[in-house]
Amino acid sequence: MRNIWTICRRELYAYFVSPIAWVLLTIFAFLSGVFTYIISASFVRYSLEGQMSGQSMPMNVNEQVIAPLFSNIAVVGLFLIPLISMRLFAEEKRQGTIELLVTSPVHDLEIILGKWLASVLMYCALLAVLAADYSFLFLYGNPDWKPVATGFLGIVLQGACLLAFGAFISTLTRNQIVAGAIGFALALVLWILNWTTSFGNSVAVQVLNYLSIVSHMDSFSKGVIDTKDLVYYVSMIFLGLFLTARSLESMRWRA
Amino acid sequence: MIQVEGLSKRYAHHVAVNDISFSVEKGDIVGFLGPNGAGKTTTMRILTCFMPPTSGKATVAGFDVFEQSFEVKKHIGYLPEAPPLYPEMNVQDYLSFVARLKNMPGSEIKSRTEQVMERCAVADVKDKLISKLSKGYRQRVGLAQAIIHNPDVLILDEPTSGLDPKQINETRELIKSLSGEHTIILSTHILPEVEAVCQKVIIIDKGKLVATDSVENLKARGSVSSAIQVQVDASGVADALAVRQRLEQVPGVSKVLEKVVADNRFIYEVESLQGQNPRPDVARAIVNAGWNLLELKSTTLTLEDIFLELTGSHGEAPAAVIQEAPPPQDAIAGGAQ
C-alpha cells in the first residue's frame, strides 16, 4: 500500500510540475464552461418561452441540463484521457527510470496501480472544474443532487477504464506521441461502436453496442446505477490493468 | 556475496552472455571489464533482477535472482549506465522518493538523504531541478540514489562514463571510500580505472569470460616477460646497426629490435630470456663502447596489454604505445580458465 502511494504521489508531482496538468486543466475548463453555458442558456430560453406563451411546460434541470452536459463531457474526456495516460510508462522507458522502479523492492502491481491511480486522480482534478460549473446550477436552481453524484461516478469510471487501457498502450512504446495516438484511436473506436445500432438489432450489433464505452454513461447521468454498466466498467478496468501487468512482465523477458 | 554459475542470456539472433561463472566476496571491489558490447550491462541487469537469465543461476546475498528477486532487490543498489533520474524533480525530493521506494522507514528518510547528499557532494545543489544539473552532478546523484538504502551490494554500470578527468577522479575516490561497507561490482572499458579502484578483475569479451583474478596477479603475470627499452645518444655512434649488434652479444638478451632511429637518438627494445636480468650488463656494454646512454627502463606489461591480449583486439588498440609492447608470450595462459 505504501509503495502504491509513493509511486502515485511522484506521478502526480510529475503531472503538476510539468505543463501537462495545467494545459489539460485549461482546455477542460474552457470546454466544460462553454458546454455548461450553452446548455443552461438554452434551458433558460426554453423556460422563458414557456412563460411567455402561457403554457406550463415540464422543466427539469437534471434532465435538461445536467444529463446532456454529462454526455458531452464524457466525449470531451475521450479526447483528453490519452493525453493523461500516454506518459505513464513511455516516459519511464525513455528516461531509463524504469530500471530504477523495476530493480527496487516494489511489486509490478504496485507500480501499475500507483501510476493508474495517479492518472485517475489527475482526471478527477479535471472533473473538479466541472463540479465548479455545476455549483452555479445549485446556486440559481435546485436540481436533485443524486443524479449529479451518479453522473460523476459514471464519468470517473469511464475515465478510469480508458486510463487503464492507456497505461497498457504506454507500456508498448517509449514514445509518448505514439502512445497518445494509439490511445486516442482506441478511445475513438470504443466511442463510435454504438453507432452500429443504426444497422439493425442483430446479436453482433448488440455486442458491439455493449462494448461501446459511452453508451454505459447514459444510465449513470440519469441517476441510475445499473449493474450491467458497473460490471462493464469494472471488468474493463481489470482487463486494462491485467494487460499492463502482462506487458510489463514481457518487457523484461524481451529486454 | 555474489555467486554466478553458468549464466547465459540468449536473444533471438545473438548470445549476449555465454556461460559465465564467477563469485565475489563480501567487501570486494570488482572491476567488470570488457569492450563495448561484451555483455557487461546484460550481466548486471540479470544480477539486479531487471531481466531473467536464459539459463544458469545467480545468487546475490544468498538469494536467487530469479526465484527470490524481491529479496535480492532489497540488498542491491544499482546505477544503470544512464542514471535513472526524473528531470522534473529536485535532488532532495528525488532522493527521498528513492528512499521511500527502497522501503526505508519514514523517520529515517530525511537524515539519510542529507547524509548521502553530503557523501556524494551534491548537497550544494539539493534544491536544483535535476534537468538543470551538469553531467557530473547527475552521475553523482545517480550514485547517491544507489547507496541511499545502504545496500550490501552495489552494482555500478560505467559510473565514470562521460565525466571530465577531475570528476572521474572524484567519483573513483567516492567509490573507493564505499568499499568495506559494500560489495561493489563496477563495469568499465577503461583499464586505468580498474587499476585505480578495484582489487579484482573479471574480464569478459563477446559474452564469454576470459579471465578472473586479482589486479596484482594479472600484472605479475605480465611482468614475467618484461622487456627493456634502451635509448642511446646518436652522436658518436657509427650507425644504429652497430649498437644493435653490440646489444645482441650481451649475455641473457634474446632479441633486440630497433624501434626508433632518429637523427639524434636510437631507441631499442631488448627482450631478455626468462628469469634473467641483463640490465646492468646492457648498461655496461653501451658505456664501455663509448656511447652515451640516455635512458634505460624496463617496460612491464600494463593491464592494457593483458586486456588486449585476452580479448584478442590487438588490431583496434586505442593507443599506439600499446602496440609497441611485445606480445606477452604465455603470460596469462595459466590464469585464464
Q: Based on the domain organization, do B81 and B175 belong to the same domain?
A: yes
User: Is B88 close to A102, i.e. CB distance below 8 A?
Assistant: no
Cα–Cα distances in angstroms (integers) from residue B50 to residues A102, A151, B139, in the given order: 6, 43, 20
> A107 vs chain B: nearest CA distance in angstroms?
8
Q: Based on the domain organization, do B70 and B206 belong to the same domain?
A: yes
Q: Rounded CA gap, B158 and B83, in Å?
A: 10
Spatial strand order in the sheet of B76-79: B76-79, B153-157, B183-188, B29-33, B200-205, B208-214
Look at residue A206 in the predicted model and tell me its pLDDT.
81
pLDDT digits (tens, 9 = 90+) for A52-78: 887 777 778 888 888 888 888 988 988
Q: Please answer whether residues A114 and A4 qualify as being in contact, where contact means their C-beta atoms are separated by less than 8 angstroms.
A: yes
Q: Based on the domain organization, do B198 and B87 belong to the same domain?
A: yes
Mean pLDDT for B83-89 is 94
Q: Based on the domain organization, do B90 and B138 belong to the same domain?
A: yes
Q: Rounded CA gap, B157 and B197, in Å?
A: 14
User: Is A96 close to B80, i.e. CB distance below 8 A?
Assistant: yes
Give the 3-state secondary structure of chain B: CEEEEEEEEECCCCEEEEEEEEEECCCCEEEEECCCCCCHHHHHHHHCCCCCCCEEEEEECCEECCCCHHHHHHHEEEECCCCCCCCCCEHHHHHHHHHHHCCCCHHHHHHHHHHHHHHCCCHHHCCCEHHHCCHHHHHHHHHHHHHCCCCCEEEEECCCCCCCHHHHHHHHHHHHHHECCEEEEEEECCHHHHHHHCCEEEEEECCEEEEEEEHHHHHHHHHCCCEEEEEEECCCCCCHHHHHHHHHCCCCEEEEEEEEECCCEEEEEEEECCCCCCHHHHHHHHHHCCCCEEEEEEECCCHHHHHHHHHCCHHHCCCHHHHHCCCCCCCCCCCCC
pLDDT digits (tens, 9 = 90+) for B91-121: 999 999 999 999 999 899 999 999 999 988 8
Mean pLDDT for B5-15 is 87
B51 shares contact with chain A (CB less than 8 Å): yes
pLDDT digits (tens, 9 = 90+) for B144-156: 999 999 999 999 9
A22 shares contact with chain B (CB less than 8 Å): no
> Is it the case that residue A13 has pLDDT exceeding 90?
yes
- pTM exceeds 0.90: no
Residues of chain A positioned with their CB less than 8 A from the CB of B98: 100, 104
Residues of chain A positioned with their CB less than 8 A from the CB of B70: 105, 107
* Structural domain contains residue B314: no
A42-51 contact pairs (CB < 8 A, 24+): none
A100 shares contact with chain B (CB less than 8 Å): yes
Q: Based on the domain organization, do B37 and B81 belong to the same domain?
A: yes
Cell reading at B55: 539459463
Q: Please answer whether residues A84 and A123 qualify as being in contact, where contact means their C-beta atoms are separated by less than 8 angstroms.
A: yes
pLDDT digits (tens, 9 = 90+) for B258-267: 877 777 888 8
B321 shares contact with chain A (CB less than 8 Å): no
- Count how many domains chain B has: 2
User: Is A95 close to B97, i.e. CB distance below 8 A?
Assistant: no
B200-205 and B29-33: which strand pairing? parallel
> Is it the case that residue A240 has pLDDT exceeding 70?
yes
pLDDT digits (tens, 9 = 90+) for B288-331: 888 888 888 877 666 666 777 677 654 443 433 333 334 444 44
Mean pLDDT for B29-57 is 89
Test the A interface: residue of B54, B100, B149 with most A CBs within 10 Å: B100
Instruction: Provide the residue range defining the domain that includes B173.
Output: 2-221
Q: Rounded CA gap, B24 and B45, in Å?
A: 16
> Is it the case that residue A192 has pLDDT exceeding 90?
no
> Is it the case that residue B221 has pLDDT exceeding 70?
no
User: Is B84 close to A252, i.e. CB distance below 8 A?
Assistant: no
pLDDT digits (tens, 9 = 90+) for A215-226: 888 888 888 888
Place of cell 499492463: A244
* Structural domain contains residue B331: no
Q: Based on the domain organization, do B205 and B247 belong to the same domain?
A: no
Average pLDDT value for chain A: 90
For chain A, what are the domain ranges? 2-254
Final residue belonging to a domain, choices B221, B240, B255: B221
User: Is B98 close to A95, i.e. CB distance below 8 A?
Assistant: no
Q: Could you tell me which residue, B149 or A191, shows the higher pLDDT?
A: B149
Q: Please answer whether residues B153 and B78 qualify as being in contact, where contact means their C-beta atoms are separated by less than 8 angstroms.
A: no
Q: Based on the domain organization, do B103 and B238 belong to the same domain?
A: no
Q: Based on the domain organization, do B59 and B39 belong to the same domain?
A: yes
Q: What percent of chain B has pLDDT over 90?
A: 31
Final residue belonging to a domain, choices B173, B198, B221: B221
Look at residue B314 in the predicted model and tell me its pLDDT.
47
Look at residue B274 in the predicted model and tell me its pLDDT.
65
Give the ipTM of the model, two decimals please: 0.88
Residues of chain B positioned with their CB less than 8 A from the CB of A16: none
The contacts of residue A203 (CB under 8 Å, 6+ apart) are: none
> B7 vs chain A: nearest CA distance in angstroms?
15
Q: Based on the domain organization, do B203 and B115 belong to the same domain?
A: yes
Q: Based on the domain organization, do B37 and B97 belong to the same domain?
A: yes
Which among B82, B88, B93 is the nearest to A96, CB-wise? B82
Look at residue B330 in the predicted model and tell me its pLDDT.
43
pLDDT digits (tens, 9 = 90+) for A89-133: 999 999 999 999 999 999 999 999 999 999 999 999 999 999 998
Which among A6, A18, A101 is the nearest to B100, CB-wise? A6
Residue among A221, A191, A193 at smallest CA distance from A207: A193
A17 shares contact with chain B (CB less than 8 Å): yes
A159-173, B12-26, B53-67, B223-237 — which is least confidently predicted? Answer: B223-237
B75 shares contact with chain A (CB less than 8 Å): no
Looking up residue B270, the CATH number of its domain turns out to be: 3.30.70.100
A10 shares contact with chain B (CB less than 8 Å): yes
Q: Based on the domain organization, do B277 and B150 belong to the same domain?
A: no
| A–B interface: beta-carbon pairs under 8 A | 72
Q: Please answer whether residues B84 and A86 qualify as being in contact, where contact means their C-beta atoms are separated by less than 8 angstroms.
A: no
Q: Could you tell me which residue, B48 or B312, shows the higher pLDDT?
A: B48
User: Is A99 close to B76, i.e. CB distance below 8 A?
Assistant: no
Q: Based on the domain organization, do B124 and B31 belong to the same domain?
A: yes
Q: Rounded CA gap, A210 and A238, in Å?
A: 17
Q: What percent of chain A has pLDDT over 70?
A: 100
Looking up residue B10, the CATH number of its domain turns out to be: 3.40.50.300
